[in-house]
Structure 1
Amino acid sequence: MLRLGRTALWHTTKVPTTTALTKNLLQPSSLWTRPSTTATTATTTMDSLTQRMSQLRFYSSKTPKNPSTAETAAKANAKSDTTTPTPSFISGFNTKGSAFTTIEASAYPSQQFKTKKPTTPGKRWLRRVPRDHLYKGKAVRSLTVAKRSSGGRNNSGHITVRHRGGGHKRRIRIIDWHRREPGTHNVMRLEYDPGRTAWIALLKHEETGKLSYIVAPQGVKTGDKLISYRSLNTKTTTTTTTTATTVPLSSTATTAAPSSSTITTTTTTTSTTVAPTETLSHSVDTIKYNVGNCFPIKMIPVGSIIHSIGLKRNGPGIMARAAGTYGQLIQTAETGYAQVRLSSGEVRLVPVDACATLGAVSNPDHQHEWLGKAGRRRWMGFRPSVRGVAMNAVDHPHGGGRGKSKGNKDPRSPWGVLAKGGKTRKSPNPFVVKPRPRR
């Protein structure tokens, strides 16, 4: 806006008379060009600047009942200008897309966050992610358990975790972190979970009709079909006998390199014929690498974005489960460990038999939300936090003294543990290949 004001001030000093400027305000303007010293060029560029200023967010939602002919012509000219995909400096105000979008796209307010009319101070600073696509009803009762809050106190009544207490009554949603159930699952709806920052998806098995909750990946919508390949087995038939035995896929089958969204599994053994079992309802010869499908890490192509990453062979998903988090598979093998780069920048070793889900976690704009007021924080079950310098010396290492003095001590917790920059890890984690960058 500072550059816009300077440009307007420069043009007002270059225009010789206001009569010619007022006369040609509603004339069609050309593309933005470098202004010259002549009065005609200055008038043309001023018309273009005035027209572009009118297309900013300073617009009114109400239109006059009887618009004049000049206003109708000006609107037609403005509409014709928006069809040309020319870059404009006011396109930078648009929060959706690049700066080289059309003027029409930047004229409307962004739908990334939902705000309210500032009738109160709490509503003035409220900025939430839209939740219009979420289910408005209650969760499935059988997939929830009651949450009994303790207020941060142990069985003796002593506060062991500070800044907790109060809040709305909630029920814990039981999430299927293992994804062992084979077959196709239909996404029934997306729901809000008060116990986590990401959205959750209600799945229904096509054959059994069993319901389950998972963390909704980004881009998954109602009606999608998700498949878990974690329990994918093969049936091996030997030519010398008539008995059939079931063996793991990793022991006999080899996985081809992915060339598109599908990948075909084949075998190279000579004496046995390997075919997938009929536990999957879809075509078992084709593996679909869609967002939301669960795989063992050894079946995922290198470079894929994954979340809900497990740390054990038959364990649940542990890492990358919060809103907007993800990891990237940078190295894998048939046996041993794979390397995954987390969103924090840390590179970690993960067993190739552990599970992972394709895609990133939903609700990535959660970190940019504004609660608006302290009361909304209390509704979430948090109590106020008191600074250490505001306490007495007996209550905190930063307390006591005159004024805002920390007592010449480094920032630390009430129990003396260094809070900024101090090393608290006694032994390094052997599974961390590259630690996250630190400040």
Structure 2
Amino acid sequence: MNQTTNTEEHPTKHISNQSRKRRRLLAMLAVLVVIILIGIFGYYQLYGRFYESTDDAYVQGNLNSISPQISGTVTQVFVEDGDYVKKGQTLVTLDQSDTRIALQSAEANLASVVRQTRGLYSDIANYQAQVQTKKIDYKQALADYERRQKLAKKGAVSVEEVNHYRDTMNAAKNALISTEQTLESKIALIDGVTVEHHPAIRSAIAKLQSAYLNHLHTTIKAPIDGYVAKRSVQVGEQVSPTDNLLVIVPLHQVWINANFKESQLKEMRIGQPVDITTDLYGDNVHYQGHVASLGIGTGSAFALLPAQNASGNWIKIVQRLPVRIAIDSNQSLANYPLRIGLSCYITVHLVDNHGPRLSVQHTDKPRFSTDIYDHPLNMAHKLVAKILSANGLDPKQTFNSNMDLSSHE
């Protein structure tokens, strides 16, 4: 009888023990969940709310397309994709036959115009002397005619002789008028301007400078330092200013476009520090940067065909705004160069949120510039000065007074 009772009580105790264990496990799980939630809340309050991150970020940079400034036939190509080029380095050359002939013609034209213009100024004195001579001739002819008229009234000379002196007087008068008109036309060509600043000489100088620059433009040079990409030009190809020959990418001027959700931008400001990692180098390489600007519009707003939401089946989609990240760690870029289009992971530090949301400053200085096109014009001035000197003009009087021609001699 006792054995039967023990057998019946044992399952009940077993079920009770299992129930207590289950309650303990559930209690422990609940405590663990609470601890996790507290940890998440604490992490957000102490750390997470001061940072915003995204992996929708890509390296961007300036893509400088190189095109010829004149039409011509390619004779030499000096670079290939991936080559590093320095500012002023020759990239491509075009056939110079036509531009050389045009330059020689412009040189001869300038010399001829200078001589012709100097002749205009010399003609003024000549025609002024001729006018004085014609005036004397006219006065003499007029005096002779008037004297013959008086003699004719006394019957001392014939009417025929009077008519002859009258014709001589009219011829002298017409010759004087013609010479005076010629003098006036000559003066009109030079009135109010010195020979050095005569429009004809200025026009010839401009044509020579244009021909000289076109001749120099047969050599296409790199405007900046960078790496060659997308080379499409080939030897023997006929190119024009609308053709893109290649692209130069200055990898020291790259930045990052990070696309943040609109809900992440509430505390984001210009100037906030940014930590950057890339898929290329992994978490072992960090770049430091800062928020350079917040996008003016979403990508869809500037799309070729913007989304039209005025429809019955509209579905809200969280938009992303591009944020431009400037890279501050130049040394890291030198050791670990970035390429255009690489994927990045961006973390923006939001602790200091006193900066502006939009740029409030403007600049009058160019952000990017090159000076490789300045020197050719100076060399053109040197050639012009040489031709002017050879044809009797002072180059310093012809050019602007603030131009130092001595540096080009």
What's the TM-score bracket when you normalise by the shorter of the two chains?
Answer: under 0.3
Structure number with greater CO (CA < 8 Å, separation at least 6) is: 2
Please identify which structure carries the higher helix content.
Answer: 2
So what's the TM-score if we normalise by structure 1?
0.17
So what's the TM-score if we normalise by structure 2?
0.18
